[in-house]
Amino acid sequence: MARSRDESLGRFLSLVLRHKPEAAFLRLDDHGWARVDQLLAGCARAGHPLSREDLERIVRENDKQRYRFDETGELIRANQGHSVAVELELREAVPPERLYHGTASRFLESIRRQGITRQGRRQVHLSADLDTAWKVGARHGTPVVLPVDAAAMAREGRLFWLSDNGVWLCEEVPWRFVLCGEILYHR
Ligand code: HQG
């Protein structure tokens, strides 16, 4: 199967399962789940036809493991990244000392003033590894990586969650937790 077709279907799935279920005539339940049969029918109706095998392959091979089926295989949801209100029963977890947030240089000024805020998403997304942070930042422009003192945040009682696909989430990162001396401007 052509990679580009899977990529474009993947993008459409992201849209539907995180941001705009109505684009495939769907409703997500309170926990973000969609019925697979309804998803397949809705995608076809929206002009993005795919088979159950296509869907299984996309879920399996997705570079960031963005989606998962439930145990019955009848439901599917995105692991994180939603803008619609969903309750993902995320696992609270103790973060590593340092987490990283990749952003674009043009946002720095605003982040200095307001901290890292969730913008359109439900939480701020952080990663435990630098490589991911560089990639996330590059999506928005010239990337900059902000190291975050996650241990200090946790000591203050701020909560962290770990999504099923290994993304660290929190509500916000006030600027004082960004390790200013360690900001990376070059890879
Ligand atoms: C920035 C992708 C101005 C923030 C990735 C980011 C991730 C501010 C942008 C996941 C700000 C929001 C999330 C402030 C934060 N002022 N800009 N106060 N606070 N920002 O896409 O973190 O491919 O909503 O730095 O891999 O880039 O979708 O968040 O640059 O895991 O699976 O505002 O999305 O995963 O952009 O990415 P986004 P993000 P997927």
Q: Is 144 in the pocket of ligand 1 (CB under 6 A)?
A: no
CA of 125 to the centre of ligand 1 (A): 7
pLDDT digits (tens, 9 = 90+) for 141-184: 999 999 999 999 999 999 999 998 999 999 999 999 999 999 99
CATH of 2-78, one of 1.10.10.970, 1.10.645.10, 1.10.1610.10, 3.40.50.2300: 1.10.10.970
Residue 98, classified by CB atoms within 10 Å of its CB into exposed (0-12), middle (13-18) or buried (19+), is middle
Give the CATH number of domain 91-185. Answer: 3.20.170.30
Task: Look at ligand 1, atom 18, and give the residue with the nearest C-alpha.
Answer: 111
Task: Look at ligand 1, atom 31, and give the residue with the nearest C-alpha.
Answer: 125
Task: Look at ligand 1, atom 4, and give the residue with the nearest C-alpha.
Answer: 103
Candidate of 83, 122, 125 to mutate for ligand 1, largest count of ligand atoms within 8 Å of Cβ = 125
* CB neighbourhood size of 55 (10 A): 19
Give span(s): CATH 3.20.170.30, the chain.
91-185
CA of 37 to the centre of ligand 1 (A): 31
pLDDT digits (tens, 9 = 90+) for 81-112: 999 999 998 999 999 999 999 999 999 999 99
Give span(s): CATH 1.10.10.970, the chain.
2-78
pLDDT at residue 39 tops 60: yes
Task: Give the DSSP letter of residue 18.
Answer: I
DSSP string, 24-56: GT----TTS-EEHHHHHHHHHHTT----HHHHH
pLDDT at residue 1 tops 60: no
Q: Is 105 in the pocket of ligand 1 (CB under 6 A)?
A: no
- Mean pLDDT of the chain, nearest integer: 96
